[in-house]
Amino acid sequence: MDRFRPLSQQQVRQLEKETRIEHVWSSNAIEGNRLDQFEAASILNTGVTVHGASVKDILETLDLNEAYEYMMSLASKKEPLTQTTVRDLNRIVTLQTTSDKSEAGVYRAVSVWPNGLENHPYVSPINIRPSMDQLIEWANKNQGKLHPVIYAADLHLRFVAIHPFIDGNGRTARLLMNLALAQSGYPVINIQPDRQERYAYMDRLERARSGDAQAFEQLIANYVEAELKRRIETLKLDEKNIREAENEKRLPEKNSTNYPNSDFNQPKPFSDR
């Protein structure tokens, strides 16, 4: 990527905006939000609500958008991960949609489990705090040791296995994963919510809880590699477009009045002067 000319600031801003909107839409859709990508973009770009959309779907879109922007601000600072960071991300994600706003960012006091897996619950409430202590200790010890993509995937896995909050755990996990990637200079990735991709994602998450983390790590690595290749193709296209534009012009340098094959240099009738 470094071999290519960087995109203009305007194009970078547009690419970042598209990535943010895709993240908000896809991460919410994985959890059952019914807005499609165009509807989410309309809400975030124009502030106009979508006819027939539920209030909850709209508020989830606004909340996750704010949480994403907060995550990216944290990535630019490259500060060590803390429980305050994790709590704050969850607070923003769930603030307007949790049934009790006092629960946002608060560790749960009841048992929870994946749908249909009542016999395989997440960490018991009494063990959440010590498990989160261990997660933060692991994160700050291993961020500089593991490959950044493996670290990001494992951070996601370890957080989901704890499932510390009553709501918003999946969205918070994907924000934490992308925070780790962005801090290491990797692009944000967005797990796609179509049936096939969502099943692969959820299946590998559950397999990791049974000890097979490699399949999930490979899934995330595939997403990262695909996004890096897409960025490289974008940079190649930009350079190609710039070269073509430079070769396909007849205008002189700036401030010159010698325009070839143009009536700019022709004497004008008196009435036009």
81: phi then psi, degrees, rounded to nearest 5: -70, 140
User: Does 174 appear as a known binding residue?
Assistant: yes
Of 64, 131, 59, 119, whose CA–CA distance to 91 is shortest?
64
User: Does 185 appear as a known binding residue?
Assistant: no
User: Does 32 appear as a known binding residue?
Assistant: no
Is 28 within 8 Å of 61 (Cβ atoms)?
yes
Could you give the 3-state DSSP secondary structure of residue 31?
coil
User: Does 20 appear as a known binding residue?
Assistant: no
Could you give the 3-state DSSP secondary structure of residue 112?
coil
User: Does 234 appear as a known binding residue?
Assistant: no
User: Does 108 appear as a known binding residue?
Assistant: no
Q: Please tell me the distance from the alpha carbon of residue 136 to that of residue 235, in angstroms, as a whole number.
A: 37
User: Does 170 appear as a known binding residue?
Assistant: yes
User: Does 172 appear as a known binding residue?
Assistant: yes
The one catalytic residue among 51, 147, 156, 163: 163
Is residue 51 annotated as a catalytic residue, yes or no? no
Residue carrying structure tokens 């009045």? 257
How would you label 24-59 residue by residue, b for 16+ Cβ within 10 Å and e otherwise?
bbbbbbbeebebeeebbbbbbeeeeebeebeeebbe
Catalytic residue ranges:
163
Residues flagged as binding site: 167-174
Residues flagged as binding site for ATP: 167-174
